[in-house]
Structure 1
């Protein structure tokens, strides 16, 4: 990454340049995706001629997005407070003159800045984290708001994940150096180094996909929506899987659930008994295929093809757009290749997820466990979804090593979020703030002392931002 507006920075004192870069970068990262979504939606509506009304909502929405990013309790101010507090406290800390520019001074200054900058974000109210309850008082029944914490959980988990990556990476580097020097490095060490990022990604994806099927409220709404679009699954099938999991649908027992998949049977022109858990034990795998026939392998191939086309139509325009800065034949060729590789990765991910379900419930599960009614219930109550979750993430092997690293670090915080409540009591918020402050201090200190240890784009980005 090149420095942000180097000419404009010349009028800014060197000590304040990191603050300027952080604010501009925070503003761009918080408003950019929303502006892109707004633009794409607007163009789509124009093509469909939906917005022929005189009151076009595009410009009011554009103004709201641009203005909203400037609010005090937003992400840009948080970035500026974090970076500015870290660099300015370290440079002017009157309490630690002996430790000036030492690791401890850097860690402490970042810890303090991270604590108060996160508090700034947490101070903004959000309707999603406020409940209104009616309570009895001596003067009658009144409605009182209850604020919940957790609004900044994704940001905190991102920091924790990055800090763990730094610490574990440093420890592993020292171990590898010792074993290499003594000639004790084994094939296991090489395998761990090679497959670590792929294992992080596949494990994280397994947790995310499991949550998406059974506990979607543990995922961010936008992330949930994106997975739903990519997976292109009939909602009735998702509901059936959840009801099998929680005992509302039981094979061989009339629980009044036959109507759920009866609608799918009518949509895809199947016999109605396909959707009756009393008559179909288990449900035919054709239901999982959603109209592509009975063959599980053909369904997997068709899933790959459809997902590839869907992803390619998204990735290619974005990658071509990035080449406009320095357009050339090689840049366009690389954009097409990168789009094709990423699309193949996503297509394989989706195909493996569905095929893992089919393998468990049709190809392997019945042959290993049997075909009794209790076994069919057990398979469709979680084992089949578990098979898909365990398999899908290994599609990351299609990507190059650098891309695997970025993808693993991208999904790991979201996977951790599925193991924690998205809302929790306000009195416990200090624990999250402490974890964020300590983790950010570790990452910033490492950027200052050993920048190559903070892997991926984030390391390069922080090095540029913090450089005075």
Structure 2
């Protein structure tokens, strides 16, 4: 029985080297296709589970599948950018080393009918091997970026929208830019602490005196090795602290934008934060109205009077608790008298809406009192821990499952991975609880009580409790493992950078913005691919794992990182 075309094709591909451009393209395409189609597939499966016999709508999944299988789909564009460089380099070497009478450069010059002076320069042009792949990677990245842009514009046209800013590819470009910058920084740090530099500094002028013999040479080597290890350890410690600081700064900006300028963040990211925070949209809208002075404790809010009143009724509380015309704007004895009339017992001496509205439905669902800020923070930790475990258990176990599945039979490995997942979950749950608790400390427990003469238009405004919460929540990163701090920092940095870019651009600036983004995409992709081939130790976390898989395959994922060899 003869093999099918697919079987014959697979036999040919399997016989190739893992680093062959065809296999690199196949791995890049498969990974990108999975990442693009995965969320839609999960959404479809979850809807089918909830349907309980009703018909499930798979049309969005089919549409996404058809979109991704096109030449301008995400998977094909990424495969082109990742494998196009090695493919072009292989073709160049094949033609450049041809034994025919005319080289490829001569034929190219003749075909274009170039002037004689340019023909001679082109015929004598020889691209160095170390620069060749970098150049071809940049060319392939440019082609891949054009595919991404074409796919994004086509999607906008199908939705009846015109190309606008930010572009559909901006988030992916920022991700590449941040990862490339990190690779450059890590490469620089490694050069500073390399054994050769350390040895040179230790030896002074680098001259070994013959009269001291081998013993002195060995002593210097040992001293240099000790200094290198010390510098490496100190550098790693400083790096983790810098990563934690970057995460703290980025999350402060992100969380503030989540409440007051969510359009600066990706929609999916805003939805993810809202899911974890369990905040009612009406409460968020009220905060935005306070910022614009359209909801005021002092002047009232006729147009939005029922916004929080409806929310209060849903929580089983009197509607008056959400009425800005009745709620006291300032603290002190006057506020206590108002609260007695409204039946609020949890805010003596403090103004502003009761914290029961801020805490939301969580306490009522779990049968716990909603008035206590301390209880609310505890419940947020509990709920966040359950949610975070569902996120971090796969994050910690899947890489080991893919690279070293047999090690999961060892109790020590399982314990280590479970402890890592629990620690990461504690970080995320603390992030959520710290935000809530910082808000409560600002507007109820501490600051508002110390300064009752300050209006709650300030305490509940953009630079009051929400600002303090944004500053405090990111400090939970110090709970996380040092190595994972870097990945968390690299995860939030592109999103924080996005909030600093203009929200909109006029039509005349769109071509320039597209050109600038394309340049950033091309340079970043070229840097990352060069690092994967020449300096894999300069890559960290997800970028190291992804590029190792794309360029070398599954076998590279299980490789252990060896320390730099010490050469005297």
TM-score (norm 2): 0.69
- Equivalent residues in 2 for 1:58-457 (5 A)? 58=58, 63-93=62-92, 98-102=126-130, 104-126=131-153, 129=156, 146-149=162-165, 150-175=167-192, 192-256=238-302, 257-278=304-325, 279-281=327-329, 282-290=352-360, 292=363, 293-313=370-390, 315-316=392-393, 326=406, 328=409, 330=411, 333=415, 336-366=418-448, 370-374=451-455, 376-382=456-462, 383-421=464-502, 424=505, 425=507, 426-428=510-512, 429-457=514-542
1:356–1:387 CA contact under 8 A, matched in 2: yes
- Tell me the equivalent position of 2:14: 10
The structure-2 alpha-carbon separation of the partners of 1:363 and 1:347, relative to structure 1 and needing over 3 Å to count, comes to same
The structure-2 alpha-carbon separation of the partners of 1:131 and 1:366, relative to structure 1 and needing over 3 Å to count, comes to farther
Structure with more of its chain in strand, by fraction: 1
The structure-2 alpha-carbon separation of the partners of 1:6 and 1:302, relative to structure 1 and needing over 3 Å to count, comes to farther
- Bigger CA radius of gyration: 2
The structure-2 alpha-carbon separation of the partners of 1:254 and 1:10, relative to structure 1 and needing over 3 Å to count, comes to closer
Following TM superposition, by how much is the alpha carbon of 1:228 offset from its aligned partner in structure 2, in angstroms?
1.2
Following TM superposition, by how much is the alpha carbon of 1:210 offset from its aligned partner in structure 2, in angstroms?
1.4
CA distance in structure 2 between the partners assigned to 1:162 and 1:21 by the alignment: 20
CA distance in structure 2 between the partners assigned to 1:270 and 1:158 by the alignment: 45
1:31–1:65 CA contact under 8 A, matched in 2: yes
Q: 1:38 aligns with which of 31, 44, 47?
A: 44
CA distance in structure 1 between the partners assigned to 2:550 and 2:511 by the alignment: 34
- Tell me the equivalent position of 2:33: 27
Bigger drift between 88-97 and 389-398 goes to 88-97
Question: Pairwise CA RMSD of aligned residues?
Answer: 3.5
2:173–2:521 CA contact under 8 A, matched in 1: yes
SS of the residue corresponding to residue 35 of structure 1 reads: helix
Following TM superposition, by how much is the alpha carbon of 1:351 offset from its aligned partner in structure 2, in angstroms?
0.4
Unpaired segments ≥5 residues, structure 1: 133-143
Following TM superposition, by how much is the alpha carbon of 1:381 offset from its aligned partner in structure 2, in angstroms?
1.4
The total of aligned residue pairs comes to 443
Following TM superposition, by how much is the alpha carbon of 1:350 offset from its aligned partner in structure 2, in angstroms?
0.7
TM-score (norm 1): 0.83
CA distance in structure 1 between the partners assigned to 2:383 and 2:74 by the alignment: 37
CA distance in structure 2 between the partners assigned to 1:197 and 1:356 by the alignment: 23
Unpaired segments ≥5 residues, structure 2: 1-8, 97-121, 203-226, 330-351, 364-369, 554-568
2:177–2:520 CA contact under 8 A, matched in 1: yes
1:265–1:274 CA contact under 8 A, matched in 2: yes
CA distance in structure 2 between the partners assigned to 1:412 and 1:208 by the alignment: 9
CA distance in structure 1 between the partners assigned to 2:24 and 2:152 by the alignment: 28
CA distance in structure 1 between the partners assigned to 2:135 and 2:284 by the alignment: 48
CA distance in structure 2 between the partners assigned to 1:41 and 1:395 by the alignment: 34
Following TM superposition, by how much is the alpha carbon of 1:462 offset from its aligned partner in structure 2, in angstroms?
1.3
The structure-2 alpha-carbon separation of the partners of 1:268 and 1:357, relative to structure 1 and needing over 3 Å to count, comes to same
SS of the residue corresponding to residue 248 of structure 1 reads: coil
